[in-house]
Amino acid sequence: MASIIGGITTSHVPAIGRAIARNLQQEPYWKPFFDGFVPVRRWLGEVRPDVVVLIYNDHGLNFFLDQMPTFAVGAAPAYRNADEGWGIPTMPPFRGDPALSWQLIESLAGEDFDLTTCQEMQVDHAFTLPMALLWPDQDWPVRVVPVCINTVQAPLPSATRCWKLGQAIGRAVASWRGAEKVLVLGSGGLSHQLDGERAGYINRDFDLKFMASLLDDPTWACRFDTRQLVEQAGTQGVELLMWLAARAALGRQVRQLHANYHIPISNTASGLMLLEPA
């Protein structure tokens, strides 16, 4: 039976891709951010996952405002990215795992989640940059299953709904007949707002409380509705929904192996957590 060996939650912004392309990892502005991933890569080298279920939000590369599913799961044999207009170099394609993808799709549909199933799918920086941070040589040693959550166009799924999605992903993996070691990766947030009167908004206190809650009170964020999450974390800070879903997939108890929090990376509060099921 397949097993979830751990979860990683991390932030994403296009500027990370430009920093990688320009070899700025040791520059004072970027060093505290990139150094945070060293222990995570060491752990990955020890546990060697087979598959990454990557929970993220698309920013218009694959879905735009005319077609925005609440939840979408990729079922393609491979995934590629393209120029998003940020000046980020494209990356080598990612190998899919159609069999495990269909296991998730059928299991989630069986639990009354209405999904968009994508047998062709492009993946944007929210997907590619966390992968590049974990495997900087971009010679991907894992297969991937993309799970996309809408955080762009109202109505957004609630924190509770995303928590339940993560739980269902955990059950789907646990019931899979294969022996794969699965890593769940949640990509997004933390607090930031890129437009409007609060452009540049960061809420350090909320971020740290949210990160702590994932260990001791993981449904804490579920007490907030979408508007309240925006008030606390900023318009784009609602991307913490991906962290919540990833945490839910790990089960009731987890232990933290590593964490990092750094302000700012391109007007965004950067968070990183490495968790194992307890």
- Per-position pLDDT tens, the chain of length 278: 899 999 999 999 999 999 999 999 999 999 999 999 999 999 999 999 999 999 999 998 899 888 899 999 999 999 999 988 888 899 999 999 999 999 999 999 999 999 999 999 999 999 999 999 999 999 999 999 999 999 999 999 999 999 999 999 999 999 999 999 999 999 998 998 878 888 889 899 999 999 999 999 999 999 999 999 999 988 888 999 999 999 999 999 999 999 999 998 888 999 999 999 99
Instruction: Read off the pTM.
Output: 0.96
The pLDDT of residue 198: 85
**In the 3-class helix/strand/coil scheme, how is 43-90 assigned residue by residue?**
HHHHHCCCEEEEEECCCCCCCECCECCCEEEECCCEEECCCCCCCCCC
- Closest C-alpha among 163, 183, 207, 170 to residue 257: 183
The pLDDT of residue 51: 98
The pLDDT of residue 6: 98
The pLDDT of residue 83: 87
The pLDDT of residue 205: 97
- Closest C-alpha among 43, 40, 139 to residue 95: 139
The residues that are catalytic are 125, 192
Assigned CATH class of 3-277: alpha beta
> Can you state the percent helix, strand and coil of the chain, rounding each to 5?
35, 20, 40
